[in-house]
Amino acid sequence: MSDINLDLITSYNAVKNNPNEVNRLLSLYHKHHSKDYYYKVKNKYSNNPNEITAKFIYLNKYSFRGIYRVYKNGQSAQTFSGECYIKLHIASRINQCSSLYMVYQFMLQIFHL
């Protein structure tokens, strides 16, 4: 499977290979969840795949209407919402996805018509 979105591909691979670490980071983010903490996470740069994945999921989960957006420069364009737009048991879902993803290879790839 491939996509042009680096954060998405990074997230697929991190969930596949390190679900426990992704869950640990998400638990930490949820523990400290607030508007200020949301923007702190949003503005933090990391090249660690597990941190990128936890950030990607967290921002999508608590962004305005759960909408994923980025600016042309690649920075997140998501704004905070007090509501959680993904109502599910995220840790068990990540573990399920990790098992499912074992049969897939995820790659960053640009599509041309």
Q: What is the pLDDT of residues 96-106, one digit of tens each?
A: 888 888 777 87
Q: For 74-84, what is the mean pLDDT?
A: 78
35 lies in some domain: yes
- CA separation, residue 31 to residues 25, 37, 67, 69, 109 (Å): 10, 10, 22, 24, 35
Residue with tokens 């591909």: 9
Residue 73 sits in a domain whose CATH number is: 1.10.1020.10
Assign 10 a pLDDT band (cuts: 50, 70, 90).
Answer: very high
Position 113 pLDDT exceeds 80: no
113 within a domain of the structure (yes/no):
no
DSSP per-residue codes, 21-59: HHHHHHHHHHHT-SHHHHHHHHH-----HHHHHHHHHHH
- pTM more than 0.95: no
Dump pLDDT digits (tens) for 12-66.
999 999 999 999 999 999 889 899 999 999 999 999 999 999 999 999 888 887 7
CA distance 113 to 58: 33
Q: Which domain holds residue 36?
A: 2-108
Mean pLDDT for the chain? 85
Residue 22 belongs to a domain = yes
Per the structure, how many domains does the chain have? 1
